[in-house]
Structure 1
Amino acid sequence: MIYEEYKADDIANIVQQYQVDPLVAKVFSYNQLTKAQIEQILYDTKTTEDLSYTDAKPIVERLHQAKVNGEKVLICGDYDADGICSTTILYDALQIFGITCGYYIPNRFTEGYGLNKKTVEMAIEKGYKILITVDNGVKAFEALAYAKQQGLTIILTDHHSYEQDELICDYFLHPQIMQEEFHHLCGAGVAFMISRALIGRHDYHTTLAAIATVADMVGVLDANRIIIKEGLSFLNQNWFANIQLLADDKSTWTTTKIGFQIAPKLNAIGRLADKANVNTIVRYLLLQNIVQIEQSAKQIKSINGLRKEISVKNEAMALQKVNADDDFMVAYSKDFHEGLNGIVAMKLTQTYGKSAMVLSNKDGVLKGSIRSVGLDLRQVFKDMDDVLLAYGGHKQAAGISFYEKDIDTIYQHLQKIAKEESVEDVAVYIPLQNEDLTIDRIEKLEALDPFGIDFAKPKFACTIDEFQMSTLSYGKHLKIQTSNMDFLYFNHGHELASYEHKKLTLIGDVSINTFRNKKTITMIVESVLL
């Protein structure tokens, strides 16, 4: 990782034009925002009441017809946080509207991602006449072709990339065919559109869509920004026990809190498909009885705790298996938990600053996840279809499977690609001056939340030469304190002696920490430059 200081010559102009704090102006400049985007962040007071839901009208008309005809509807979901929230929103909306409906989310291990033929056969057997996919479907060619052949009505809603000529459906709703402000919706955002058009305002549906939008790491501007801010507002009024009881503390709700305290727990149920049925999380999210909610929340937290334990064990095994000198980290084992390979691959990229692939070995088939540093994973395997059983994903994350006998071929290919094409990651940071380090200024920075894709919260840097150090958790973590700031460097307690009497530049995320009504500026450190 290379760190570079952000330098800009437009800060004074932004301060003058928008009458904002210089630190806020630096964040706007850092993100290269347009005038319209800055104005939305600063001035927009639109709510979800002000959005137009006409793009969902054809689907809503068909659902009205389904109600009149008494047709049963099956919602076909996905096992991540977005898919879970999508399924919950639409199932609840159809029930409120008065349609007989059910839902099904496949098992990650035994059925895999997306709608499959077996689910269609089950739907036909149980008398369903309409299938609605949420957060999946654009690549479910076999299942949808079979459903079409059997005379089912197909309503396909998704937000993943697709080819128009490959679609198999009667109705289609996707962010890219909606009005421009909806172009970056996640799957639950699309489900929210249908819910709003069908039954009107429903604050819990808005909140679930906000959670999914943060969890799925889509854009945080345009309609998504309105949805997230409204959902956070409801949560900060202490609404919805189903969500509140999943949190680890009673701190203010932010995108960071959703990302670290809620999304992992929803995802854990899908990841540990050998320990829990992901369909039960939908039931949990719709529980009304507080005693049942409390009991189920404890169970979900327990599953997430198990997920953490297994992740730590798998990470330790992977760190032993990789060759630190490789250009592309590769680890595989029959002992790796398939649902956690993506988490372990991310750990390897963070440890070595290189792309990583982590695979589970089952009966001679390797299946797992890849995380990229400086490589476009959409291109890495473009000429290797003959050795891959399955492959798909995004620029920085992908899923893969192939036969164990081909591991050497793929390993050598990855080393070659990484050596020739990897571009070292460059992290650009904003240096904080002493005048920036006031509670008021950092609170103005935090007021810009939601941060995320298209409007990133920058990395900040502080250079210090007078400080005190201590360790936490029996020497595991390092705490550095100055007169006006705390720095927490997790898993680096062993560095204490090497930092003594040095001038340090600490890089990381800055926020306000409140403890016993005392506010402290705190940095979660990701790197230290000497």
Structure 2
Amino acid sequence: MKWQVKSKAPRAFFKQFPEFSPLIVQLFYNRGFKTQKQVDEFFNPDFEGDLHDPYLLKDMDLAVKRIVKAIDHQEKILIYGDFDADGVSATTILYKTLESFGLTPEIYIPDREKENHGLNPKSIKVIAKDKINLLITVDCGSKDFEAIDLANSLGIDVVITDHHDTDQKLPQTVALINHKRKDDKYPFKDLAGAGVAYKLALALLLIKGDPDNLKKWLLDITALATVADMEPIIGENRTIVKYGLGVLAQTKWIGLAKLMDVSRINPEIVNHSAKGEAPLTNLDASTLGFALGPRINAAGRMEHANIAFELLTTGNEQKAEKLAQLIDQKNKERQTLTDKVVREVEARIVSQDRIPELIFEGDKDWPVGLIGLIAGKMKDKFNRPAVIYNDQQKIIRASCRSIPQFDLMNMLNQCSRYFDDYGGRDGTGGFTMSRDKIEKVKDICFKLAKKELKKISLNSVLEIDAELSLEEISFKNHDQVSLFEPFGKKNLKPKFLAKSLEIMEARLVGNGQKHLKMELAMFDKYSGKGKNFKAIGFSLVDKVEEVKKGDLVDVVFEMIINQWNGYKELEMKIVDLKLIK
């Protein structure tokens, strides 16, 4: 992996922000901040001021009008969701909102193993038997023309809420709320599906009243979905996540509380809100992205997403505890099976004479619920677009992940005549097709990848924010770096470089002995002063054979705090290391 330290900010830039350390000003420069106003807005999100008016979304007024009519006339409403964490969260948000108005909607979440994302004619026929008057989608529906036409013919009104890309032509619906519409002028274009559902909830609460303060209490679920769906944590999303973490620390949803229990998360409010700012907690985006989100997703991957929906909506403590334990168990099963499939895919790839520009692998034993995860891991490991599929003899179901240099949707569009169904956004996608056409699709995909990527270096690049001296690895800088939280897409946690550290200790720790624990000595090249740092490298088991006590290494790391019994220690979380030979 190639290391690349970002260019240093001009000297004049540092003079603009005298109240911050040079390291923090460098981070401003790396993120494209140019003015004090940008810095102030980034560091001081304002819940009331930052959230845009939901009625700026096109068709919001039409959707609210139809839903209010259904509420007032006690019509039968069905919320049609999706089986990932975003879809389940969006379903939950709208369900709890309608429930607060005295109406209990029906719910339909597709089975990941048997159905695709989005509406399908078969599910519409099932829904029609229940005499549904109004169908509201969340996190899906913008391109489901056939299913929507069928719903219309059966007398079911349809309201779409979604965040996936749309075509120029839109389906015939009562309303289609999606900030990705070509004719939509909503100022922020990176909401999750749950973010759009939350906007609809806010619009309804403005009309029908909000005695339960759902505007606040739904923020934790919205934040969870936003991070789990890997939306950029900037702009409106940053405000949603920052305040959502404050709400999560005091959540009123018993299911979320029990899920935190099984995840060994003990939420605390460090500083309460004094003037409307987000409460400071011991939670961060990794709580959502690496603890809660994967568990919510595991329900749909390993069994059915209805389990996760029931967990998030139940008011029964015993039921919530059982569901949380079940989901935690499913997540452990998911981790074990994922590791197994990853090893199988990697073995196939490295056995080839050369790693191709596109990874395209499948097997009948690779579960549909995991192929998206596997594709993502292959993309990350080999820095190439990846297509991983489940081979069901007659039917192929595939998930795709891509690198920024390759237009995944262009590839899928070029193969669309062979697909029964396909879709995607922002470097992710998938398709379903007859097995007898798989070689034709492979041929198109490989030729396109070879053409598009032949002049592009496919070596992974690790971007580093700055090289640090011994003096700069400090509690003060750590605390100022933490002001950039919550971290996530387009606001990644800063990574730093430290050179010529001596290994004082190196050993493997953790379940399965996968993690590299070290003690590293760093010296100031001018004064000769030194300091030892404890360091942990998660999943860096391969590195232990490369290094030994006494070796000198360069290290890319994140600053972290290890706290126990009231004692705090500044440590390094190792991202990568290289032996100095």
TM-score (norm 2): 0.84
Matched, 1:197 2:203: yes
Residues 429 and 461 in structure 1, CA contact (< 8 A), matched pair in contact too = yes
Q: 1:396 aligns with which of 400, 411, 427?
A: 427
Tell me which residue corresponds to 2:547.
499
SS of equivalent to 2:546: helix
Question: Residues of 1 paired with 2:477 and 2:254: CA distance?
Answer: 33
Cα distance change, pair 225–494 in 1 and its aligned pair in 2 (3 A): closer
SS of equivalent to 1:94: helix
SS of equivalent to 1:119: helix
SS of equivalent to 1:519: strand
Question: Residues of 2 paired with 1:334 and 1:253: CA distance?
Answer: 40
Question: Residues of 1 paired with 2:94 and 2:334: CA distance?
Answer: 28
Question: Residues of 2 paired with 1:337 and 1:140: CA distance?
Answer: 25
Matched, 1:356 2:372: no
Residues 463 and 495 in structure 2, CA contact (< 8 A), matched pair in contact too = yes
Tell me which residue corresponds to 1:110.
114
Q: 1:249 aligns with which of 238, 244, 264?
A: 264
Question: Residues of 1 paired with 2:62 and 2:4: CA distance?
Answer: 50
CA deviations on 1:222-279 (whole Å, 9 max, x unpaired) are 222221111101223465432232232235210111100011011111112xxx2212
SS of equivalent to 1:54: helix
Moved more, 162-171 or 133-142: 162-171
Tell me which residue corresponds to 2:337.
310
Matched, 1:23 2:23: yes
Matched, 1:83 2:96: no
SS of equivalent to 1:246: helix
Tell me which residue corresponds to 2:176.
172
Residues 17 and 25 in structure 2, CA contact (< 8 A), matched pair in contact too = no
Matched, 1:290 2:346: no
Cα distance change, pair 484–153 in 1 and its aligned pair in 2 (3 A): farther
Question: Residues of 2 paired with 1:383 and 1:258: CA distance?
Answer: 36
Amino acid at match of 1:213: T
User: Where do 5+ consecutive residues of structure 2 fail to align?
Assistant: 267-281, 521-530
User: Where do 5+ consecutive residues of structure 1 fail to align?
Assistant: none
RMSD: 2.6
Residues 503 and 551 in structure 2, CA contact (< 8 A), matched pair in contact too = no
Tell me which residue corresponds to 2:274.
none
Cα distance change, pair 485–187 in 1 and its aligned pair in 2 (3 A): same
Question: Residues of 2 paired with 1:156 and 1:267: CA distance?
Answer: 23
Residues 253 and 313 in structure 2, CA contact (< 8 A), matched pair in contact too = no
Q: 1:326 aligns with which of 355, 371, 382?
A: 355
Tell me which residue corresponds to 2:239.
226
Cα distance change, pair 264–64 in 1 and its aligned pair in 2 (3 A): same
Kindly, what percent of the aligned residue pairs are identical? Answer: 27
Tell me which residue corresponds to 1:437.
473
Question: Residues of 1 paired with 2:572 and 2:565: CA distance?
Answer: 19
Post-superposition offset of 1:336: 0.9
Tell me which residue corresponds to 1:3.
3
Matched, 1:428 2:477: no
SS of equivalent to 1:384: helix
Cα distance change, pair 484–60 in 1 and its aligned pair in 2 (3 A): farther
Q: 2:411 aligns with which of 373, 377, 380?
A: 380
Matched, 1:133 2:137: yes
Question: Residues of 2 paired with 1:333 and 1:45: CA distance?
Answer: 49
Q: 1:277 aligns with which of 304, 308, 325?
A: 304
SS of equivalent to 2:463: strand
Question: Residues of 1 paired with 2:248 and 2:49: CA distance?
Answer: 16
SS of equivalent to 2:70: helix
Amino acid at match of 1:439: F
Residues 464 and 505 in structure 1, CA contact (< 8 A), matched pair in contact too = yes
Residues 443 and 512 in structure 1, CA contact (< 8 A), matched pair in contact too = no
Matched, 1:447 2:483: yes
Post-superposition offset of 1:508: 4.1
Tell me which residue corresponds to 1:265.
295
CA deviations on 1:114-143 (whole Å, 9 max, x unpaired) are 011222222322121111111101011111
Matched, 1:471 2:508: yes
Post-superposition offset of 1:301: 0.4
Moved more, 113-122 or 257-266: 113-122
Amino acid at match of 1:427: L
Cα distance change, pair 421–22 in 1 and its aligned pair in 2 (3 A): same
Matched, 1:143 2:147: yes
Amino acid at match of 1:309: T
Q: 2:192 aligns with which of 168, 186, 193?
A: 186
Cα distance change, pair 96–489 in 1 and its aligned pair in 2 (3 A): same
Tell me which residue corresponds to 2:68.
64
Post-superposition offset of 1:460: 2.4
Cα distance change, pair 376–53 in 1 and its aligned pair in 2 (3 A): closer
Cα distance change, pair 513–240 in 1 and its aligned pair in 2 (3 A): farther
Post-superposition offset of 1:80: 0.7
Post-superposition offset of 1:15: 5.9
Question: Residues of 1 paired with 2:382 and 2:51: CA distance?
Answer: 47
Moved more, 311-320 or 372-381: 372-381
The count of aligned residue pairs is: 527
Question: Residues of 2 paired with 1:15 and 1:261: CA distance?
Answer: 40
Cα distance change, pair 222–243 in 1 and its aligned pair in 2 (3 A): same
Cα distance change, pair 492–43 in 1 and its aligned pair in 2 (3 A): closer
Question: Residues of 1 paired with 2:355 and 2:546: CA distance?
Answer: 28
Tell me which residue corresponds to 2:167.
163
Tell me which residue corresponds to 1:521.
570
Cα distance change, pair 14–241 in 1 and its aligned pair in 2 (3 A): farther
Tell me which residue corresponds to 1:54.
55
Question: Residues of 1 paired with 2:431 and 2:487: CA distance?
Answer: 30
SS of equivalent to 1:167: coil
Amino acid at match of 2:39: I
Tell me which residue corresponds to 2:275.
none
Tell me which residue corresponds to 2:273.
none
Tell me which residue corresponds to 1:92.
96
Moved more, 3-12 or 414-423: 414-423
Post-superposition offset of 1:342: 1.7
Moved more, 137-146 or 343-352: 343-352
Moved more, 479-488 or 293-302: 479-488
Amino acid at match of 2:310: R
Amino acid at match of 2:265: K
Post-superposition offset of 1:95: 1.4
Question: Residues of 2 paired with 1:262 and 1:33: CA distance?
Answer: 31
Residues 70 and 100 in structure 1, CA contact (< 8 A), matched pair in contact too = no
Cα distance change, pair 179–519 in 1 and its aligned pair in 2 (3 A): farther
Q: 1:347 aligns with which of 373, 377, 399?
A: 377
Amino acid at match of 2:53: S
Question: Residues of 1 paired with 2:168 and 2:438: CA distance?
Answer: 35
CA deviations on 1:429-455 (whole Å, 9 max, x unpaired) are 122222221122112212221222332
